[in-house]
């Protein structure tokens, strides 16, 4: 059985992954800004990325590191201060991991890091639109630049002989938090809130498939490099919201939240919910991964019946 250090392990993805890894018999070190008493095989270790300090046992005693930490991108308006926090929390944490892996004796075999589909930006309109693949260059917008810095910060672990896997996550669908909970709220009140025109494409992944992807990448050496972590069938915002309403068996009055309202509410971040990003799952599938929830009806059915 292995010991796996998960940075940001207290978050949405980290909690689901911890559950899955515990069920397989592993021990989890959650690397967090605020440690708390251990709970069974979950042990909390502290770091401070601003001060550059880290509990050395989180590195010395780990077999694998999963790097998920980062200030929530949807956690508030993108002021300059917030943008700096979004970038610094990913770049400085990556740099601290690299430095610690370099300076401390350790047997870490692989580092599995999150990145995001924000790397790609908006679908090209013309000519011949196609899903984004891992070799596409980063977008020049805020999220594209952030993802590039994020991936660059953790990449030097390969020079230390560590296997590195980077997953570019799509929108994670989970009942425990994130976008799906926000999509569900109006449906619970009998309304289906479609964002803007609703025809923008959402590349999504069910939380259970995402946790399986991370687990597979820890276990199997053939995972190396960058992979998109999205289900193979992206859908429009309207199709996603309509499916949630349908599966809940509720009559929901569809209404469009106009773009200008979203802009007023979210500021610059509104572009992220209004634009199409169609991302390919082919590389992960070609590497042997089979999605349990390849289509939105299967994913929403599982979430509605709480199979996650
Ligand atoms: N959920 C999605 O739909 C989605 C989509 C694309 C990419 N991602 C990326 O995948 C990763 C995991 O996602 P998630 O949904 O699990 O995120 P999350 O729930 O927001 O959790 C991230 C964790 O990062 C730590 N953190 C927060 N602010 C920080 C800061 N300023 N400095 C250092 N650490 C900080 C927190 O752990 P402590 O408080 O314990 O330190 C938090 O639990 C994130 O980097 C996220 O950007 C997620």
Q: What is the mean pLDDT of each run of 10 residues along the chain (308 residues)?
A: 97 98 98 96 98 98 98 91 97 98 98 98 79 97 97 98 98 95 88 91 97 97 97 96 88 85 85 92 98 98 81
Question: In the block, which residue shows the tokens 């999150």?
Answer: 114
Q: Does the beta carbon of 12 lie inside 6 Å of ligand 1? A: yes
Check if 241 has its Cβ closer than 6 Å to any atom of ligand 1: no
Calpha distance 259→134 (Å, rounded): 30
pLDDT at site 126: 64
Calpha distance 235→33 (Å, rounded): 36
- So what's the pLDDT on residue 25? 97
pLDDT of residue 213: 98
Domains of the chain: 3-174+203-230 (3.40.50.720)
Name the token pair of 184. Answer: 């569900």
**The pLDDT of residue 308:** 53
Find out whether 86 and 73 touch, Cβ atoms under 8 Å.
Answer: yes
Q: Is the pTM of this model over 0.85?
A: yes
Q: Write down the H helix ranges in 135-221.
A: 142-154, 179-188, 207-219
Helical H segments across 24-129, by residue range: 57-60, 80-103
Coil/strand/helix, residue 144: helix
181 in contact with ligand 1, CB cutoff 6 A: no
Cα–Cα dist 132/203, whole Å: 10
> Nearest to residue 158, comparing CAs of 213, 219, 87, 101?
101
Distance 220 CA to ligand 1 centre (A): 25
List pLDDT tens digits, range 252-277: 888 898 888 888 888 888 888 899 99
The predicted pLDDT at position 127 comes to 63
């Amino acid at each position: 059985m292995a010991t796996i250090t998960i940075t940001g392990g207290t978050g949405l993805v980290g909690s689901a992954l911890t559950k899955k890894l515990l069920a397989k018999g592993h021990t989890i070190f959650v690397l967090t800004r605020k440690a708390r008493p251990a709970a069974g095989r979950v042990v909390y270790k502290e770091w401070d990325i601003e001060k550059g300090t880290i509990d050395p046992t989180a590195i010395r005693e780990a077999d694998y590191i999963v790097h998920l930490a980062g200030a929530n991108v949807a956690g508030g308006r993108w002021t300059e201060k917030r943008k700096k926090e979004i970038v610094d929390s990913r770049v400085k944490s990556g740099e601290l991991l690299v430095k610690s892996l370099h300076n401390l004796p350790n047997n870490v075999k692989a580092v599995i890091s999150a990145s995001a589909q924000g790397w790609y930006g908006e679908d090209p309109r013309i000519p011949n639109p196609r899903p984004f693949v891992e070799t596409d260059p980063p977008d020049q917008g805020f999220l594209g630049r952030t993802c590039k810095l994020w991936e660059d910060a953790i990449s030097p672990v390969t020079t230390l002989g560590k296997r590195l896997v980077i997953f570019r996550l799509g929108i994670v669908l989970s009942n425990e938090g994130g976008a799906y909970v926000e999509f569900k709220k109006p449906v619970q009140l009998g309304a289906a809130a479609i964002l803007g025109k609703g025809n923008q494409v959402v590349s999504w992944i069910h939380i259970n498939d995402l946790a399986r992807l991370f687990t597979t990448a820890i276990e199997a050496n053939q995972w190396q490099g960058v992979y998109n972590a999205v289900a193979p069938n992206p859908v429009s915002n309207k199709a996603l919201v309509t499916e949630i309403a349908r599966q809940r068996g509720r009559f929901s009055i569809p209404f469009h939240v106009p773009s200008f309202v979203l802009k007023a509410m979210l500021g610059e971040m509104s572009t992220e919910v209004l634009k199409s990003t169609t991302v390919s799952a082919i590389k992960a599938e070609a590497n042997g991964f089979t999605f349990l929830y390849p289509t939105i009806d299967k994913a929403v059915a599982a979430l509605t019946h709480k199979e996650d």
